[in-house]
Amino acid sequence: MHNQPKISIIVPVYNTEKYLTTCLDSLINQTLKDIEIICVNDGSTDDSLKILKEYARKDSRIKILSKENEGLSAARNDGLRAASGDYIGFVDSDDWIDLDFYEKLYTAAAKYNSEAACANIMRFGKNKEKHRLKYVKEEFFTDNEAKLKAAGIPLNNYVWNKIYKKESLVKLDIPFIEGKAYEDIPWSIRVIYGLKGLVTVPDTNYYYRRTSSSIRLSKKQKYNLDCEYGEKIMIDFAMKNGLDNLLRGYKMSKRERIRFCNINLLKIFYYYPDVKLYKLFGLIPVLKTKVK
């Protein structure tokens, strides 16, 4: 393998021993062989590091960075600094990808000289698979709003179903915000906007595992605040760059509840830019108003 691999795949790892072998098997068996796999062990306390070392002994393309636990954003930033590939990819360690995933993304990006390529997302939970994002044809976009729409933003701010030109990422200099959850939200809109071109790639999938420990299933107040923080950055960026229409009607994370005896009597949902929707028991729409 020459000095610069075609793709550097960054895999943050934190206590995912249950799923890690499935993830790594999907990476080491990629049809695109000219890759490096940077596994950032983020202070795991289970057998994740042991599994990583076993795989690294068998496959020289796997590089392990071990560090104290600082969270997903810091792990991704560390992986980016260590990456040497022409393109960058991200895979979460409890997820997996089709074996032709990176070959198809890289081939499409090279064909159009595109700085980003984007594939399907398949959500996996309770033994059921469902497309979260699905492309029917290969298309190349250069218009800023068209790129973002094609990537599914603002509903799908995920970083891992794509590859990104590393040289261009370095020039953009947009690190993941450390110490915050939902770091994809403020990162994705600014990066896709800044990169020259995005190509959609059908017929290959990223499998996103929805588990009980997923951030999106967490009810912790910190995660709610982090999501609102990320959305504020995304909205401010969109308004500054004339992308208001992209977000119009977007269901925001902010919501209010009126409860009695631990039962949700009424939920209030907020939609960009100025709509409040009231739902009885959180299910039945009863009133829609403008935010004053």
Question: Do 47 and 109 have their domain in common?
Answer: yes
Question: Do 208 and 86 have their domain in common?
Answer: yes
Question: Do 196 and 264 have their domain in common?
Answer: no
- CA pair distance 24, 40, nearest whole angstrom: 13
Question: Do 174 and 114 have their domain in common?
Answer: yes
Q: Which domain holds residue 15?
A: 7-215
Q: Kindly tell me the burial class for residue 241, based on how many C-beta atoms sit within 10 Å of its own C-beta (0-12, 13-18, 19 or more).
A: middle
Domain-embedded: residue 223? no
Domain tally for the chain?
2
Q: Is the omega angle on the peptide bond into residue 273 within 30 degrees of 0, that is, cis?
A: yes
Domain-embedded: residue 239? no
Question: Do 272 and 133 have their domain in common?
Answer: no
The residues facing 40 across adjacent strands are 12, 65
Residues 253-262: tens digit of each pLDDT: 888 888 887 7
Question: Do 271 and 127 have their domain in common?
Answer: no
Residues 32-89: tens digit of each pLDDT: 999 999 999 999 999 999 999 999 999 999 999 999 999 999 999 999 999 999 999 9
Domain-embedded: residue 224? no
> Is the confidence at residue 220, as pLDDT, over 70?
no
pLDDT band for position 130 (cuts 50, 70, 90): confident
Domain-embedded: residue 133? yes
Picking from 170, 194, 215, the residue at the C-terminal end of a domain is 215
Picking from 215, 238, 267, the residue at the C-terminal end of a domain is 215
Task: Provide the 3-class DSSP secondary structure of residue 227.
Answer: helix
Domain-embedded: residue 162? yes
Picking from 215, 239, 266, the residue at the C-terminal end of a domain is 215
For residue 87, the domain's CATH number is 3.90.550.10
Question: Do 180 and 259 have their domain in common?
Answer: no
Task: Provide the 3-class DSSP secondary structure of residue 170.
Answer: helix
Angle at 131 between CA 148 and CA 13, to 5 degrees: 80
Domain-embedded: residue 170? yes
Q: Which residue has the higher pLDDT, 21 or 262?
A: 21
pLDDT band for position 216 (cuts 50, 70, 90): very low
Question: Do 174 and 52 have their domain in common?
Answer: yes
Domain-embedded: residue 230? no
Question: Do 153 and 283 have their domain in common?
Answer: no
pLDDT band for position 290 (cuts 50, 70, 90): confident
- In this prediction, residues 182-196 reach a mean pLDDT of 95
Question: Do 256 and 154 have their domain in common?
Answer: no
Question: Do 69 and 128 have their domain in common?
Answer: yes
- pTM listed for this prediction: 0.90
Dump the DSSP string for 83-115: --SSEEEE--TT-EE-TTHHHHHHHHHHHHT-S
- Percentage of the chain beyond pLDDT 90 is 70
Domain-embedded: residue 149? yes
Question: Do 28 and 133 have their domain in common?
Answer: yes
